[in-house]
C-alpha cells in the first residue's frame, strides 16, 4: 500500500517536474538566442539575458536530479522575476536601457518565453502544494511526451525568432577601418548653370475615389503623384514636405544621379520625419521614362499611393504629336485613362508598372490593340531599329517601363489592356488606357490563364510573348561585348519559409524568406566595386516566381538570357525581369561612386529579404537601418 502511494506520488511529481523543466529549458534557450542582439543594442541587457539563461539551465539540472521544494520555490521566484521585468518593459518601459521609460514592442520570442514562464509557474505552484491524487493512474506521465514535443517546437520557433530580430542599427557603409574613406553625404551634384526645374511634393493623407474612399498616401493629394516633366540636362530640385503620420523619402527610380540624392532611407539619408522636409537636387543626365516613389517602408508606402511618373524629354529627338504616360498598379488602385488623340497622329505612350500585390511577381502582360506599334524604349533607354509589331504580350515587370509608338488609326480607338491572369493573390488592372474616339477594339483571342505547372506561370494559346532579347537591330554595345570584366558576381535567388524580423509582432513574422546566395537583407553580401571597373552579374532564379532585379544609380547592358546572347537591339535596363528558373546576365560600368541598392522590385520579395548592395570601396554613410533610426528601406 505504502509502495503504491509512493509510486503514484513519484509519477505525479515526474509528470509535473519534467514539463516544468522543459519549459524552463525552453525559456533559457530563447534567452540565449536573443542575447547577441541585446549585447549590441544595450550590453547590460545582453549580459542579463545570459545570466538568466545560465541560472535557468542550472535550475533545469536541479529539477531533474534533485527535485525538492527548495528548488521548486527558487525556480518559481526566477520565473516571477522574469515575468515582472518583462511586463514592466512591455507596458510602462524600464527605467534603464536603450530607450528608458519607453515600452518595448512585443516580439514572438519574448511572447513565447513569457508563455513558458507562466506555464512553469503554474506547475511549480502545483508541485509546492504537493498533494498527489488518490488514483495511481499515470496519465500525468503520459502527458509529458506530447507536451515535450509541443514545447520543443515552440522553443525552436522562439529561438529562430530570437536569432532573426528586427535589425537595430545596421550601417551599410563600405569604409574599412584605418583606410581612407569618403562619406556618401559628399557625393552630391556640384553647382552648375543648368536650367533649374523646381517642384514641391507634399506627402499627405487623402481620401480618394480609386481607393474606394479609403485612406491613400499621396503626393500633392493625387495617386499617382503629379507627373514631373523635365528636359535632359535640367537641374531638378524637388522639395519633399512630409505631412504623413510616418517618416518617408523619395527615390528617383532608374536615374543615374549622385548617391546623396538617391533617397534610400538608412543608406543615403534619414527618412524625413512627420513635419519635416528635404530637398533633392541633381542634374538629369538621361532622357526617358522614369518614376519616383518612397524608399522608406517601401512595401507599405508605395501601394498606399506614394509614386509618380518622371519623364525626361530628350534634348533632341523625333517629335511626337502626343506624348502620354500611363502609370498603373494593381486593379484596386487604378482606373482606366481616356486620352485625346486624332486619326493619323503619332503617339508615344509610356507605360510604367508601379507595383503589384501579387506574390508571384507575374509581370503585367500588356497588349496594345487597334494599331500596329513599335517598342521604342525599355526602362527609358531607346532600342535600336525597333520593328513594327502586332498584338503580342508585353511582359512588364514591376518597376519596368515600356515606351510604345504608333499612329492613331483612321477610325476606332487604340486600347492598352493588361491581360495578366489573376493568380489568386491579386487582381491585375484590366484597362490601362484608351486613345482617340470610336469603337474600343476587343481582344478576340481570349485571355491568357494562369497555370502553375507552366514555367512562365501563364499560358496563352494564341498570343506570342514579346522577347526583348531578339527584337530590333543589332548594334555595338561595348559594355555587353567586353570579354573581360573586373568583377563577376553570381546572384542566386531562392526562397524558403522562415521567420523574418521575428522580433516584430505587428506583422506575421513567418514569411517566404527570399535570398540572394542564401542570405536575406541586410545580411546579404554586398557586391564590392571600384570606380572604373566593369562588372558582370549573373542573375540565377531558382524559384517559381518572377523577379525584376533593379539596380540603383546604374544601367545594365543585357548580355544574355538563359545563356543565349542578344540577337536584336542592345538592351539597357535598370530592372531585369528574371522569369521562373531563368538566368540573365548583365553588365555595367561602375562610374557612379556610392552605396547603391540592388533588389527585387516585387516589393513583397524585397521586404522578405531579396535585396543587396553594390558598394564602392571606401564609402562611409552616417545613416543606419533598423529600429534605432526607424529607417527601413524595404
Q: Which is nearer to ligand C2O, 251 or 561 (CB)?
A: 251
Q: At its nearest, how many Å lie between Cu ion and the CB of residue 397?
A: 9
Does residue 605 bind ligand C2O (CB under 6 A)? no
Find cell 535640367 and name the residue. 234
**Cross-sheet strand order for the sheet of 575-578:** 527-529, 611-616, 595-600, 547-551, 575-578
Interface segment toward Cu ion; rule CB under 5 A; list 12-20, 284-292, 327-335, 359-367: 359-367
What does the block give as the cell for 468? 526583348
Interface map 392-411 toward ligand C2O (x if CB under 6 A)? -------x------------
Find cell 502545483 and name the residue. 126
Q: Which is nearer to Cu ion, 158 or 633 (CB)?
A: 633
Interface segment toward ligand C2O; rule CB under 6 A; list 187-195, 429-437, 461-469, 596-604: 596-604
Closest CA to 37 of 172, 175, 159: 159
Q: Which is nearer to Cu ion, 38 or 552 (CB)?
A: 552
- The one of Cu ion, ligand C2O, none whose footprint includes residue 500, by CB under 5 to 8 A per kind, is none
What does the block give as the cell for 38? 541585446
Q: At its nearest, how many Å lie between ligand C2O and the CB of residue 71?
A: 56
Residue 445's H or E segment, with its range, is none
Rounded CA gap, 385 and 37, in Å?
A: 56
Please provide residue 86's backbone torsions phi and psi, each rounded to the nearest 5 degrees.
Answer: -60, -45
Cis peptide leading into 224, omega within 30 of 0? yes
Does residue 600 bind Cu ion (CB under 5 A)? yes
Interface segment toward Cu ion; rule CB under 5 A; list 121-129, 339-347, 544-552, 612-620: 544-552
Q: Which is nearer to ligand C2O, 547 or 599 (CB)?
A: 599
Please provide residue 26's backbone torsions phi and psi, each rounded to the nearest 5 degrees.
Answer: -60, -45
Q: Which of residues 521-580 bind ligand C2O (CB under 6 A)?
A: 550, 552
Rounded CA gap, 289 and 102, in Å?
A: 46
Closest CA to 67 of 22, 21, 108, 112: 21
Of 605, 614, 619, 621, the residue at the interface with Cu ion (CB under 5 A) is 605
A 10 A CB-CB count for 363 gives 28
What does the block give as the cell for 364? 503585367
Q: Is 9 exposed, middle or buried (0-12, 13-18, 19+ CB in 10 A)?
A: middle
Q: At its nearest, how many Å lie between ligand C2O and the CB of residue 253?
A: 4
Whether the Cβ atoms of residue 188 and residue 206 lie closer than 8 Å to each other? no
Closest CA to 47 of 55, 56, 35: 35
Q: Which is nearer to ligand C2O, 79 or 201 (CB)?
A: 201
CA 224 from centre of chain: 20
Q: At its nearest, how many Å lie between ligand C2O and the CB of residue 19?
A: 49
Does residue 30 bind ligand C2O (CB under 6 A)? no
Nearest-CB residue to ligand C2O?
253
Interface map 92-131 toward Cu ion (x if CB under 5 A)? ----------------------------------------
Does residue 577 bind Cu ion (CB under 5 A)? no
Closest CA to 593 of 290, 280, 173, 286: 173
Whether the Cβ atoms of residue 356 and residue 398 lie closer than 8 Å to each other? yes
Of 251, 348, 350, 413, the residue at the interface with ligand C2O (CB under 6 A) is 251
Interface segment toward ligand C2O; rule CB under 6 A; list 57-65, 442-450, 467-475, 597-605: 597-605
Of 31, 38, 235, 253, the residue at the interface with ligand C2O (CB under 6 A) is 253
Rounded CA gap, 289 and 560, in Å?
A: 24
Does residue 498 bind ligand C2O (CB under 6 A)? no
Q: At its nearest, how many Å lie between Cu ion and the CB of residue 451?
A: 20
A 10 A CB-CB count for 158 gives 28
Whether the Cβ atoms of residue 593 and residue 619 lie closer than 8 Å to each other? yes
Of 295, 348, 401, 420, the residue at the interface with ligand C2O (CB under 6 A) is 295
Rounded CA gap, 389 and 369, in Å?
A: 11
Does residue 381 bind ligand C2O (CB under 6 A)? no
Q: Which of residues 251-310 bind Cu ion (CB under 5 A)?
A: 253
Does residue 552 bind Cu ion (CB under 5 A)? yes
Interface segment toward Cu ion; rule CB under 5 A; list 137-145, 151-159, 170-178, 250-258: 250-258
Does residue 597 bind ligand C2O (CB under 6 A)? yes
What does the binding site for Cu ion look like in residue numbers (CB under 5 A)?
253, 361, 547, 552, 600, 602, 605
Chain residues binding ligand C2O by CB under 6 A are 251, 253, 293, 295, 399, 550, 552, 597, 599, 601
Amino acid at each position: 500500500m505504502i509502495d503504491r502511494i509512493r509510486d503514484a506520488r513519484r509519477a505525479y511529481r515526474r509528470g509535473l517536474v519534467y514539463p516544468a523543466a522543459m519549459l524552463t529549458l525552453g525559456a533559457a534557450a530563447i534567452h540565449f538566442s536573443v542575447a547577441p542582439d541585446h549585447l549590441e543594442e544595450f550590453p547590460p541587457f545582453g549580459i542579463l539575458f545570459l545570466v538568466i539563461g545560465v541560472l535557468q539551465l542550472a535550475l533545469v539540472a536541479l529539477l531533474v536530479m534533485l527535485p525538492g521544494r527548495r528548488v521548486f520555490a527558487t525556480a518559481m521566484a526566477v520565473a516571477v522575476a522574469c515575468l515582472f521585468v518583462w511586463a514592466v518593459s512591455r507596458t510602462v518601459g524600464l527605467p534603464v536601457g536603450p530607450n528608458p521609460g519607453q515600452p518595448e514592442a512585443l516580439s514572438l520570442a519574448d511572447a513565447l518565453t513569457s508563455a513558458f514562464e507562466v506555464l512553469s509557474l503554474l506547475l511549480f505552484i502545483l508541485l509546492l502544494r504537493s498533494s498527489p491524487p488518490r488514483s495511481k493512474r499515470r496519465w500525468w506521465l503520459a502527458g509529458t511526451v506530447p507536451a515535450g514535443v509541443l514545447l520543443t517546437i515552440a522553443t525552436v520557433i522562439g529561438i529562430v525568432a530570437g536569432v532573426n530580430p528586427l535589425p537595430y542599427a545596421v550601417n551599410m557603409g563600405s569604409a574599412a577601418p584605418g583606410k581612407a574613406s569618403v562619406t556618401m553625404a559628399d557625393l552630391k551634384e556640384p553647382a552648375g548653370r543648368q536650367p533649374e526645374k523646381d517642384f514641391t511634393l507634399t506627402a499627405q493623407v487623402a481620401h480618394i475615389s480609386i481607393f474606394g474612399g479609403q485612406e491613400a498616401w499621396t503626393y500633392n493629394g493625387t495617386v499617382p503623384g503629379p507627373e514631373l516633366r523635365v528636359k535632359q540636362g535640367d537641374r531638378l530640385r524637388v522639395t519633399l514636405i512630409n505631412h504623413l503620420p510616418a517618416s518617408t523619402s523619395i527615390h528617383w527610380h532608374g536615374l543615374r544621379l549622385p548617391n546623396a540624392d538617391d533617397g534610400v532611407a538608412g543608406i543615403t539619408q534619414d527618412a524625413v520625419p512627420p513635419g519635416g522636409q528635404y530637398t533633392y537636387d541633381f542634374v538629369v543626365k538621361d532622357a526617358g521614362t522614369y518614376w519616383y516613389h518612397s524608399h522608406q517602408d517601401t512595401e507599405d508606402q508605395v501601394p498606399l499611393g506614394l509614386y509618380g511618373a518622371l519623364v525626361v524629354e530628350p534634348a533632341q529627338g523625333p517629335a511626337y504629336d502626343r506624348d502620354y504616360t500611363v502609370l498603373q498598379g494593381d486593379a484596386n488602385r487604378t482606373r482606366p485613362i481616356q486620352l485625346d488623340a486624332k486619326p493619323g497622329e503619332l503617339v508615344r505612350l509610356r507605360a510604367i508598372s508601379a507595383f503589384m500585390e501579387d506574390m508571384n511577381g507575374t509581370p503585367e502582360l500588356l497588349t496594345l490593340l487597334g494599331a500596329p506599334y513599335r517598342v521604342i524604349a525599355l526602362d527609358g533607354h531607346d532600342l535600336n531599329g525597333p520593328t513594327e509589331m502586332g498584338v503580342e504580350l508585353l511582359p512588364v515587370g514591376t518597376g519596368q517601363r515600356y515606351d510604345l509608338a504608333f499612329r492613331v488609326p483612321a477610325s476606332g480607338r487604340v486600347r492598352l489592356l493588361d491581360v495578366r491572369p489573376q493568380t489568386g493573390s491579386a487582381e491585375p488592372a484590366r484597362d490601362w488606357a484608351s486613345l482617340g474616339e470610336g469603337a474600343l477594339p476587343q481582344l478576340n483571342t481570349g485571355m491568357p490563364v494562369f497555370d502553375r505547372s507552366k514555367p512562365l506561370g501563364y499560358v496563352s494559346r494564341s498570343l506570342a510573348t514579346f522577347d526583348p532579347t531578339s527584337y530590333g537591330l543589332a548594334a555595338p554595345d561595348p559594355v555587353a561585348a567586353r570579354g573581360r570584366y573586373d568583377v563577376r558576381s553570381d546572384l542566386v535567388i531562392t526562397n524558403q519559409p522562415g521567420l523574418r524580423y521575428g522580433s516584430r509582432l505587428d506583422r506575421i513574422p513567418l514569411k517566404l524568406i527570399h535570398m540572394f546566395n542564401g542570405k536575406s537583407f541586410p545580411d546579404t553580401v554586398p557586391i564590392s566595386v571600384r570606380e572604373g571597373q566593369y562588372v558582370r552579374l549573373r542573375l540565377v532564379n531558382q524559384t517559381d516566381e518572377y523577379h525584376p532585379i533593379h539596380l540603383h544609380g546604374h544601367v545594365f547592358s543585357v548580355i544574355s538570357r538563359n545563356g543565349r546572347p542578344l540577337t536584336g537591339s542592345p538592351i539597357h535596363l535598370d530592372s531585369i525581369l528574371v522569369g521562373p528558373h531563368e538566368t540573365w546576365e548583365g553588365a555595367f560600368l561602375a562610374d557612379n561612386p556610392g552605396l547603391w541598392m540592388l533588389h527585387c522590385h516585387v516589393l513583397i520579395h524585397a521586404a522578405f529579404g531579396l535585396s543587396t548592395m553594390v558598394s564602392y570601396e571606401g564609402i562611409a554613410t552616417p545613416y543606419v537601418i533598423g529600429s534605432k533610426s526607424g529607417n527601413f528601406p524595404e
